[in-house]
Chain A
Amino acid sequence: MEKRSTRRDFLKKTVATGIGITVFPQILPASTLGRSGAIAPNDRIAMAVIGSGSRGMSNVNWFNQNKEIQFIAACDVDANHRDRAKAVIDKHNKNSDLRTYPDYRELLEKEKVDAMLIALPDQWHAVIATAVASKGIDIFGEKPLARTIREGRAIVNAVEKNNIIWQTGSWQRSVAKFHRACELVINKKIGEVKYAEVGLPDAHKLIGTPPVMQIPEGLDWNFWLGPAPTKPYRGVSHWDWRWIMDYSGGQLTDWAGHHIDIAHWGLGLDRNGPVEIEGKGVYPDEGIYDVPVEFDFTCKYENGIKIRVANRSRLPYDMGTTWYGENGWIHVDRSKLIAENPEVLKETIGDNEIHLYKSYDHVRNFIECLKSRKETITPAEIAHRSISVGLLGEIAMLTGQKLSWDPEKEVFNDNNHANRLLSRPMRSPWKLTE
């Protein structure tokens, strides 16, 4: 991948030539980084986080285990989140310099950062990711890549156009067990695989219809909604948004970026997509929860491979990914890697066999790629293909149709109705950045 001129390069040049340029933020002495004293200022990676809720902050803490990282700004529509981010990050940086913003546009205008961490409700992913990408800033973005297939493709295009590094929060790829399972499968240690199953969590319990509430002090609810339709505040902004289709596709899309991603990886399909999708969902009719409480659909790929995706209790091997080969199955989830024939698990991968991208730490992989300008273990295209399976399943269930899909053009064949569900109209003024 071609190397773009980075901010660090720019800093190197200006410092080397001794030209007195005031850059904002000013370069801090390395000692201000406390334990990271060994890092030269120019190797520092200035970062900001957009969305400093629970996921955002746990990622911040993960990043902060790396001495190169320095968070200089945080953005959230909730003042409480901003305050918490400032407290946590300032404490880590041993200063009081973190700048906070309620509006990501202001952050992008005022701050010069090398990399951005994004952890937002899904309806915001593409609007903000494309805006950040357009500034040439590298991105670590949470899964699922986007709320719709068109939005996901827009992110992939923005990453390519702006030549930035993208890592998706599909961290299972950087866990040895999953890597090992995928290498065994892709090297046909269980023979040819024609069928796989992906188990995702069962439904979260229903939430009823919480009353319309006073918007909490400090929360800009209208901004939180962003491109999604106007709705009164019912207290769903920090967790339960996952169960409302305007913001998320539920457990299916929340988890597609994990176990579907792994299924694809093992089958060598992670830059591909199905040609046929068929399935059924069960939708609740009580309360504001409107994502499926049960889902079960099957995708067929051009090479005849089928992947069935369902909530865990519908499948024999529960959560995780199970590949069925000619010579038995392999199953992997967060707690175990097992095989019908356990001897398979002892197989070694020879020099001439396929060796999958190896990463030991998902955040570290991103940081290394910022430096090397190489592709991360979960680039945007791969994340897009993983969530696409979940989103295609969502459309198959919503329409009740057996869908024929062109994975190259990314359109349903001869189906204008289903094609409309590839995007969601956005509320003004929000739009994707071209």
Chain B
Amino acid sequence: MRNILKLLAGLSLVVTFLMVQSCGTTAEHKALIITGQNNHNWEKSSIIIKDILDQTGIFETEILLSPPAGESMSGFLPEFNKFEVVILDYNGDPWPDKAKLDFVDYVKNGGGVVIYHAADNAFPEWKEYNEMIGLGGWGNRNEKSGPYYYWKDGKMIKDTSPGKGGGHGARHPFLVINRDTEHPVTRGLPEKWMHSEDELYSWLRGPAENINVLSTAYSDSTKGGSGREEPVLFTISYGKGRVFHTVLGHCGKGDDAPAMHGAGFITTFQRGAEWAATGNVTLAIPDNLPNSVSVVIWDKLSPLTVEELLQKAGKYNIGMSRKYLADLTERIRRVSDDPGELKKYENKLLKFLDSDATTDSKNYVMKELSWMGTETSIPVLEKLLKSEDTAEMATFALKRIKSE
């Protein structure tokens, strides 16, 4: 517990009482992360969440630490109303009644909430909280907590059969399918995306009222899962308030938190937080998102720059994943209506062809240039005619470019 204070101080953050405040930002939305007790590595996850949010430029994020587990909670009285969105990375002792009442008031009156991973394990006995989170697990939750809720035959169904609430199989990467593609959080994102290695919460149960499931993932029974399409991202409206609930993003003790570095987790978290804060999403769809096949990890919690991407793409040999090349293609497609942008990419690709990138990656790039290149490409391609390994694709590209 005390380590986090050192850690936070190390990040040049100002620590006042248990409130950690970043300085000097003029972002639009004030966000509060509540943590301090969790069966997960909250010291790490809360910092990552702060980075994820601050990186958007639209949040000014503070972290509020609760007293340590087992200590008196009586002085824990967050000032929710100072914030447009409250992110719960908390799974611990009950809050004092005043805090609970304040929180319910805050949400009822239009406050935004993000429920992150094990926060849906918290407060099994707090009725209003369970209504806000829609679904929860563990903490002796069972049929009395509400139905199981999962995707079957093209829709979400409520299953009132008895049994405990909450569980998960072994950690592994899995496919997330956006079921509501018109919601501000998911609109424009890949409809199916591979999520990085994570715990897939399953068998969640709860009131499931005023709930809208954005995304589901198949909980693989061969990996110890439920064999159901479980909800992983959903929203709940509570009074005038908006709750965004992500079950994703496991962060264990001593692991690298791959789940929190997955591009899909980060992007939906940012968008979910903005939606919870404002009811809308203004954040642009980032580059470098996963498709239905391979995981995309953002080591720095942000997308690769084109230069970083080209660097990685240049190591491609047939048999390896084409994901960096495929992402390059995707980026080109996104700007392809703008001749100026296409030209910029052409110049980068030509530099790439002149680099020590692999033959297989150059051949891929030449195919791309064959349609989007201009006469600027001709001399570079002609140079590649001289090497046996690249001559055929260079011929292919030259024929196309000259066919105009």
Contacts and interface: CB of A to CB of B under 8 A. Distances in A.
Interface in A388-425: 398-402, 416-421, 423, 425
Contacts of B292: 282, 284, 293-294
B336 A400 contact: yes
Given A206-B293, A283-B326, A283-B329, A401 B318 contact: no
Contact of A283 (B291, B393, B396): B291
Contacts of B372: 399, 417
B325 interface: yes
A401 B293 contact: no
A149 to B, nearest CB: 13
B192 interface: yes
Contacts of A418: 371
A80 B260 CA distance: 54
B401 interface: yes
B286 to A, nearest CB: 16
B392 A285 contact: no
Contact of B291 (A209, A282, A421, A423): A282
Contact of B400 (A398, A399, A425): A425
A286 B294 contact: yes
Contact of B404 (A285, A402, A420, A427): A420
Contact of B396 (A229, A284, A419, A421): A229
A167 B399 CA distance: 32
A294 B371 CA distance: 22
Which residue, A206, A230, A284, A421, has most C-beta atoms of chain B within 10 A? Answer: A284
B333 A285 contact: no
A393 to B, nearest CB: 14
A369 interface: no
Contacts of B337: 400-402
B22 interface: no
B322 A421 contact: no
B319 A209 contact: yes
B7 to A, nearest CB: 37
B403 interface: yes
A79 interface: no
A286 B190 contact: no
Contacts of B404: 416, 419-420
Nearest to A203: B292
Say whether chain B's binding surface is mostly helix, strand, loop, or mixed: helix
A295 to B, nearest CB: 12
B179 interface: no
A425 B396 contact: yes
A288 interface: yes
Nearest to A290: B322
A285 B192 contact: no
A205 B26 CA distance: 49
Interface in A48-76: none
B334 interface: yes
Contact of A420 (B329, B370, B393): B370
Nearest to A395: B371
B323 interface: yes
Interface in B185-216: 190-192
Given A400-B332, A416-B404, A420-B401, A282 B192 contact: yes
B72 to A, nearest CB: 53
B392 A230 contact: yes
B192 A286 contact: no
A285 B318 contact: no
Contacts of A416: 404
A286 B293 contact: yes
Nearest to B404: A416
Interface in A283-313: 283-286, 288, 290, 293-294
B321 A420 contact: no
B395 interface: yes
B321 A285 contact: yes
Contacts of A421: 371
Contacts of B323: 285-286
Contact of A229 (B322, B334, B392): B392
A285 B342 CA distance: 22
Contacts of B318: 209, 288
Nearest to B329: A283
A290 B326 CA distance: 10
B336 A399 contact: yes
A230 B389 CA distance: 11
Given A294-B192, A417-B371, A423-B403, A401 B336 contact: yes
A420 B369 CA distance: 11
Contacts of B393: 229
Given A398-B371, A425-B400, A284 B395 contact: no
28 contacts: A209-B318, A209-B319, A229-B392, A230-B392, A282-B292, A283-B329, A284-B291, A284-B292, A285-B291, A285-B294, A285-B323, A285-B325, A285-B326, A294-B191, A294-B292, A398-B333, A399-B336, A399-B371, A400-B332, A400-B337, A417-B371, A418-B371, A419-B404, A420-B370, A420-B404, A421-B371, A423-B403, A425-B370
Interface of A: 206, 209, 229-230, 282-286, 288, 290, 293-294, 398-402, 416-421, 423, 425, 427
Interface of B: 190-192, 291-294, 318-319, 321-323, 325-327, 329, 332-334, 336-337, 342, 370-372, 392-393, 395-396, 399-401, 403-404
Closest 10 CB pairs of A and B: A400-B333, A425-B399, A285-B326, A285-B323, A285-B322, A209-B319, A400-B336, A420-B400, A284-B293, A425-B396
